[in-house]
Amino acid sequence: MASSKRAGNFMDEFNCSVCLELLYVPVTLVCGHNFCKSCIDRVWRSETQPSCPECRQECTAKKYAVNRQLATAIKRVKIQQQEEGQNSCEKDQLCMEHKIQFELFCKEDESLACSLCVPEHPGHTFFTLQKALDMYKDNLIISLSHQQSSLNHFEEIKWQQEMQISDIRDDARSLQLHVTSEFAKLHQFLKEKEENLIQQLKEEETGILREMEENLTKIKEDINAFQESIFNIQLQLQERDEQTFLKEIKSLILRLAKDQKERDVPKVVARELTFEVYKSHLQYGILKEIKSILHPSDTSRCICS
């Protein structure tokens, strides 16, 4: 079992970065990277200037060399891996009830079935294993596209939220300087007033930033969830054993659907500081307070009139 695991890890180095499958008729580009011959031909048919899909190094011409030694090495390791895994996989490939190989996949139950299982699924639709495999892979590829699109959208919202937080901090610093410069002109009474207003401003800034940063944290958590979801999908797509793939696909799809249903599209929290309290009406309000302290009788006459 240990040697089989080492062989599996070793075979990962022979995957084509285009189709993510084991190299088939491997060819080597001038940059040294290897691809399936059919994969690089397909990629280059859509490019005006051919380049390596992995390192993006431009190729002066659509030339490559068939790597026969690599093909031979892959073939030998595959044979060894198949021989070692044959006995361990043989039991998993049999229907536990009828002791024969799985040949079909039930659409309604989303489960493997042998030919003798068909009467036990009345009215159900059955696919060949290959057709079911292709169908679910297509569904996962569509889901992967949606996940990546949502991730890009969340990244953009995260950037907008970070800009909002930066603007609030800049505005708060600017207002603090203004308040400080105004109160520097006055004596002890004004100094106390300055400190009170600065504290009020900091509390307002803290309250606004708390809401924004909590929203940003939620956005980042959602982004991490998308990245994990995308990783799980990519990991499932790389599964080479069709039966293992189909056994695990139901729980993965249910989990993806549940995550999609529970995840709400975030919104940017945008708030503003109360500029008028600290800027436009500052001196007028302070002067009124000073006047009421210095001439309380004037204020009484003003109220009575």
pLDDT tens by residue, 97-140: 888 888 899 989 889 988 888 888 899 999 998 999 999 999 99
Q: What HEC string does 186-206 produce?
A: CCHHHHHHHHHHHHHHHHHHH
DSSP letter for 12, please.
G
Domain range for residue 143?
Answer: 131-304
Residues 35 and 177 grouped into a single domain: no
What is the signed CA dihedral for 54, 55, 59, 65, rounded to 10 degrees?
-50
Q: Any idea what the CATH number is for the domain that residue 23 is in?
A: 3.30.40.10
* 244: confidence class by pLDDT, cuts 50, 70, 90: confident
| Calpha distance 210→212 (Å, rounded) | 5
pLDDT greater than 70 at residue 294: no
Which run of H or of E encompasses 127? strand 126-128
| Calpha distance 161→34 (Å, rounded) | 42
Other CB atoms within 10 Å distance of the CB of residue 305: 5
Other CB atoms within 10 Å distance of the CB of residue 283: 11
Residues 163 and 290 grouped into a single domain: yes
Q: What is the pLDDT of residue 169?
A: 94
Q: Helix or strand or coil: residue 113?
A: strand
Among 90, 282, 74, 89, smallest CA distance to 196 is for 282
Say which amino acid occupies 12: D
Residues 13 and 84 grouped into a single domain: yes
What average pLDDT does this structure show over 47-68? 86
Residues 108 and 58 grouped into a single domain: no
When mean pLDDT is compared across 76-85, 192-201, 252-261, 295-304, the lowest value belongs to 295-304
Residues 208 and 220 grouped into a single domain: yes
What average pLDDT does this structure show over 11-33? 87
Residues 120 and 189 grouped into a single domain: no
When mean pLDDT is compared across 161-165, 168-172, 263-267, the lowest value belongs to 263-267
Could you give the percent of the chain with pLDDT greater than 90? Answer: 26
Q: What is the pLDDT of residue 293?
A: 62
- Picking from 91, 111, 143, the residue at the C-terminal end of a domain is 91
Residues 47 and 151 grouped into a single domain: no
Residues 47 and 98 grouped into a single domain: no
Q: What is the pLDDT of residue 305?
A: 39
Q: What is the pLDDT of residue 224?
A: 92
Could you give the percent of the chain with pLDDT greater than 70? Answer: 86
- Picking from 68, 91, 114, the residue at the C-terminal end of a domain is 91
Residues 223 and 292 grouped into a single domain: yes
| Calpha distance 166→169 (Å, rounded) | 5
- Picking from 75, 102, 124, the residue at the C-terminal end of a domain is 124
What is the signed CA dihedral for 34, 40, 43, 47, rounded to 10 degrees?
90
Residues 225 and 183 grouped into a single domain: yes
* 73: confidence class by pLDDT, cuts 50, 70, 90: confident
Indicate the number of domains in the chain. Answer: 3
Residues 164 and 285 grouped into a single domain: yes
**What are the beta bridge partners of residue 137?**
none
Residues 25 and 146 grouped into a single domain: no
